[in-house]
Amino acid sequence: MTTLKQRVVILGATGSVGRQALDVIDRFPDRFEAFGLVAGRRDCGHAARYLVQADHPDFEARVEDLVTHPEVDLVLVAIPGAISLRPTLAALGAHKKVALATKEVLVMAGELVMAAARAAVESSPLSLPSPAAGGGYWDVIRPVDSEHSALWQCLWGESPSSVARLLLTASGGPFLSRPELDLDQVSVAEALSHPRWSMGPKVTVDSASLMNKGLELIEAHHLFGLPLDRVEVVVHPQSVIHSIVEFVDGSAKAQLSNPDMRLPIGLALSYPERLPGVVPRTVFADVGRLDLQPLDSRRFPAVGLAREAAARGSGFPAVLNAANEEAAAAFLAGEISFGTIVRAVEEALGAWPGGASTLDEILEADGFARAHFRTRIGKVRA
């Protein structure tokens, strides 16, 4: 059986996920082609048929043209933040497969994105809904986050009625083992010193505050169609167990591997097949302990804030995401303390009146949160 080469567009080709995706593509040239790259202002160092850089005057239009190009098979969305929402919806609307690494897309507009995925499946005779639990449409939208990829793999072939609970694992970030530390006093360098993963600055800051787990909780809720109260977070410092699914009969499945993003990237590109040797095998005899412990919600309140925002809907998740983006950027720029990030997000949520469901209204909520943070930055500065 001959497998047709997939033509891939990467949004965020110079970022951590984008670079690792290009590594996977280069190692399997008979399977994949880097058809188009959307990159920052620096050279991504990789040839492709099309290149769109962030400083292009018609950047957004060029990106939409690229993700809807008739020759494109799959779009890997890996630009952090709200900027990825419109291209994702455009790609789904053009019946492209989407490998989604940008969690903010589903946080902001999960209902709209999953509706677009369903519409793409239902309007195409070539795509079929997966029988996997959660109602996911894996021939159209595929998770790249390691935690959601793990849940996805554990759910293959399972019936929705068999699933009791999803457990997202969290490394705990750089401050887990330092309970005496005043989070208002930590430096940018300390926040960026993740013990397990190599990621971009914003994602690493989110990992340090555990806001990333709040965003991932919302993402899992949409991707797998489970109520929020059946999605939990558990701390696992070794980052070998990437997530766990509990079933109604009392059993559980977990996906384990060394922390290497090339594995979920490769799986999202190659599904329903697995690429041979995409990452080194895990030598479990060398792993040693695998610890699991409850989340300290008082020290890390971001997960609770995210759960509350998701339960309220009506634009609150978009406010959560946008305020966090602005606050994380302000921390990285030295304008606010690390501890101020979550407090600023909470304040923005308190100021939003609610009332958003359409794309334009969600983007309005996003803009509200950014403007609110910028006008209040002096008052929330620690």
Average pLDDT per run of 10 along the chain, which is 382 residues long? Answer: 82 94 97 95 84 91 97 96 94 96 95 93 61 59 95 92 96 77 86 73 90 96 95 94 98 94 96 94 90 92 96 97 96 94 96 95 96 80 48
Closest CA to 301 of 213, 185, 197: 213
Q: What are the tokens at 246?
A: 């509990």
Print the SS3 string covering the chain: CCCCCEEEEEECCCCHHHHHHHHHHHHCCCCEEEEEEEECCCCCCCCCCEEEECCCCCHHHHHHHHHCCCCCCEEEECCCCHHHHHHHHHHHHCCCEEEECCHHHHHHHHHHHHHHHHHHHHCCCCCCCCCCCCCCCCCCEEECCHHHHHHHHHHCCCCHHHEEEEEEEECCCCCCCCCCCCCCCCCHHHHCCCCCCCCCHHHHHHHHHCHHHHHHHHHHHHHHCCCHHHEEEEECCCCCEEEEEEECCCCEEEEECCCCCHHHHHHHHHCCCCCCCCCCCCCHHHHCCCCCEECCCCCCCHHHHHHHHHHHCCCHHHHHHHHHHHHHHHHHCCCCCCCHHHHHHHHHHHHCCCCCCCHHHHHHHHHHHHHHHHHHHHHHCC
In a domain? residue 257: no
In a domain? residue 66: yes
In a domain? residue 306: no
Q: For residue 97, which amino acid is it? A: K
In a domain? residue 46: yes
Give the other-Cβ count within 10 Å of 298's Cβ: 7
Region of residue 317 (left: phi > 0; alpha: psi -120 to 50; beta: else) = alpha
Q: Quote the CA–CA distance of 291 and 355 in Å, as a whole number.
A: 42
For residue 240, what are the CA distances in angstroms to 69, 290, 292?
38, 8, 11
What pLDDT does residue 290 have? 93
The residue segments making up the domain with residue 90 are 6-127
Give the other-Cβ count within 10 Å of 70's Cβ: 6
- Please report, for the domain that includes residue 27, its CATH number: 3.40.50.720
**Contact yes or no for 322/315 (Cβ under 8 A):** no
Q: Quote the CA–CA distance of 204 and 197 in Å, as a whole number.
A: 8
Total domains present in the chain: 1
In a domain? residue 102: yes
What pLDDT does residue 94 have? 96
In a domain? residue 12: yes
Q: Quote the CA–CA distance of 211 and 219 in Å, as a whole number.
A: 12
In a domain? residue 141: no
In a domain? residue 249: no
Q: What are the tokens at 29?
A: 């040239």
Q: Quote the CA–CA distance of 312 and 252 in Å, as a whole number.
A: 30
**Contact yes or no for 183/190 (Cβ under 8 A):** no
